[in-house]
Amino acid sequence: MLRPGVRASDLVVRYGGEEFCVLLRDAGSEVAETLAGRLRRALNASVIATHGVKLQVTASFGVASFDPITTETWETLFHRADETLFRAKRGGRDRVETG
């Protein structure tokens, strides 16, 4: 459901049980935040029918951008993204948070 909304150069992977990671190549924080909002709205418009019940999809996004000038590691970048994701979930879910 996420892949059609990203560029061919971007990577979408499962990061946890119900968590996914979208790695954007050559995209700043504003582009990442805009894309996360677009993906959230697309998912929210999706309906999954199962066992005669229609389920609406919601998604929370935590956005973190890598700054190549700093000495940040991939580990700290993922940690920041994870923190913003949990902030989105605590803030009411189905939302985008940046950090």
Q: Is 26 left (phi over 0), alpha (psi -120 to 50) or beta?
A: left
pLDDT of residue 71: 83
pLDDT of residue 59: 94
Domain ranges of the chain: 3-98
Q: What separation in angstroms does the CA of 78 have from each of 4, 27, 29?
A: 23, 16, 14
Q: pLDDT tens for residues 4-60?
A: 999 999 999 998 888 999 999 888 899 999 999 999 999 999 999 999 999 999 999
By annotation, the residues acting in catalysis are 18
Q: What is the CA radius of gyration of the chain?
A: 14
pLDDT of residue 69: 84
In this prediction the pTM is: 0.87
- Band (67; pLDDT cuts 50, 70, 90): confident
pLDDT of residue 14: 92
Q: How far apart are CA 67 and CA 8, in angstroms?
A: 22
Domain 3-98 part of CATH 3.30.70.270: yes
